[in-house]
Homo-oligomer: A and B are copies of this chain.
Amino acid sequence: MWKTGVIKPKDSSKAKIFPATGDIKTSGFLGNRIKTNRKKSIPSLYNLFLKYGEIDNFRIVAGEKKGKIVRRLATDSNLYKWMEAVSYDINNQMDKENEKLLDSLISLIGKAQEASGYINTFYTKYKKERFKNLINSHELYCGGHLIQAAIAYHRATGKDNLLKIAVKWADYICKRFGKGKVEENDGHPEVEMSLVELYRETGKERYLELANYFMSLPYKHLGNYSFLKFPQVLGHAVRMMYLCAGATDYYIETGDERYYKKLLSLWQDTAEKKIYITGGIGSRYCGEAIGLSYELPNLRAYAESCANIAFMMWAYRMFLAEGSPDFMDVFETILYNGFLSGISLNGETYFYVNPLASKGEHKRVAWYDCCCCPPNIQRMLASLPSYFYGLTREGIWINLYGASDSRIKLLSGNQVKIIQQTEYPFEGRITIDITPEKKEKFALFLRIPEWVNSYSVKVNGKPMPCKSRGHIKIQSIWEAVKTRIELEFEVRPALYIPHPEIESTKNCIAIKRGPLVYCLEGIDNPGINLFNCILVEDTLIEKKEGNLLGGVYTISGEVLTSDQKLPLYEQKSRYPEIKYRKRRFKAIPYYAWANRGNKGMTVYLRYGRGLDKDL
């Protein structure tokens, strides 16, 4: 039962759309991933926390155990993020076992907190000077994750045990930071977003003000710009995206136009020049950074899982602020591609980076020494149901499609049952049954994804007029009986052309089907050189393969391929004739790659014989 969404804009806020709440039960494709998260990912990561000392850190500081703190970068935040994941999952399916576990962890965390409110296992244990190395210490970053976990647990259960700890911490930093006090922000933004949410949760304006104060200071890892001075998105991708998410929250609550303008221009820069086709963001290993415009290498893509998640958070907040489907389109692109690629189908191994090509060097693992991504993936997965529906005075917005059974409360208090039956994202047919408890006039807004070229909508069997994209609005006086909406998007393999200024994909093409980006894996394509093969046009065939990778549609087609040994550089006039052979390839959804080992992968194929035509 989602009593509130993951975020909860105030009624007085500038949000154009509010997260709808209620009982949202997913099944189908996303529901299965959420279930695997609950059954496999969450418990296995907890065991790894036990194994690698992340819980012991708190026990040691709480005086329950002797030993040394295991310090990895921002260690405490991993547990907080995991607790946030568990809290969200409580909304999906009440699980008393996890609640008990969380309560005992919260009690432990409470003991590890200093009387002042300060909390950080490493700094407390070793009595290090506080807030003296904010550029790298992650003290506020960890605190931000504590706040988010506390709010999530409070909203899910009504219990304020963790919230009290978080508020004590937040009040402490309110006292310590500000003009004439510590005049610096954290090298890793994150606390900004959490402070705005804490303001939403408690009504205390000091948290909102502190968020603003932090954003008014230069971010040293992000080109030394304060938020309103950023000329473009740049630097460490996770940091930049968390900051943008926090700034959007701040705008939503304050209506500060300067923030709004800056956010729109940063979004444009991101969306038009710096995203992978998978929705991934961050193209550099060096500094885990966003690159220049159109700098989007495939083999050396970084596209860190955490950055992609932070980007989803930003996109969703922009959607709430703006109401435009563009933002949910981006959210969906990340979700089904660059986000889901970060976790294996069995829910037990992860990718930190999400490349668009691999020669076999990328391996999924259960644990990273800097274990930020796994619990981040878990909290996003567990929270997905809360992203499904939006609410305005006009009615209900369907943001995400997926088999699900929900009870959403309108602003009038009237409860509406919404059942989605669909094989989305594999199929475009979505049957939506709407049943209000009481008869009421309201609108239903259906998002038409940007990839859709053709679709139809019927209401109780009667066709509706369709415009090409955006949101379709179905205004009606809904009777207190089931109304069936049949939405059908044409789903077929489509070739996507990347911008010609992207150095790594000149004259290359990617295949998508619906919201899913496809890729070729070596295991499915023996005899094909993934890195030198050319797509033959008009040869694509799709096939449902229920037993492959948890059930997918594959796409096959023809490529010309060659393993011929070729010179590194050679004059055109002396170039050897390349003998290509024709082979049938098989492509799978990108999110499912590297679940059968890794014998190479590519998203892009050469397209058009290009050069070779002229040889």
Contact = CB atoms under 8 A, between A and B. Distances in A.
A575 B508 CA distance: 14
Given A504-B297, A607-B610, A608-B614, A569 B285 contact: no
A501 B566 CA distance: 10
Contacts of A495: 571-573
- Number of this chain's copies in the complex: 2
A277 interface: yes
Interface string A206-242: 0000000000000000000000000000000000000
A497 B575 contact: yes
A77 B503 CA distance: 37
B286 A292 contact: no
A606 B506 contact: yes
Contact of A569 (B291, B498, B537): B498
Contacts of A529: 501
A496 B273 CA distance: 29
Interface size bracket, A side:
35 or more
A336 to B, nearest CB: 15
A494 B291 CA distance: 33
Contact of A531 (B501, B507, B608, B611): B501
A611 B497 CA distance: 9
A38 interface: no
B571 A498 contact: no
Interface string A598-609: 000000001110
Contacts of A286: 284-286
Contact of A532 (B271, B359, B500): B500
- Name which of A293, A500, A573 has the most chain B CB atoms within 10 A of its CB: A500
A299 interface: yes
Contacts of A512: 571
Contacts of A606: 500, 506-507
A205 to B, nearest CB: 39
Contacts of A610: 506-507, 607-608, 610
A111 B529 CA distance: 62
- Name which of A505, A506, A532 has the most chain B CB atoms within 10 A of its CB: A506
Given A497-B571, A507-B611, 15 more contacts: A272-B568, A291-B300, A299-B503, A357-B503, A497-B569, A497-B572, A500-B531, A500-B532, A501-B531, A503-B504, A505-B506, A506-B507, A507-B606, A507-B610, A607-B614
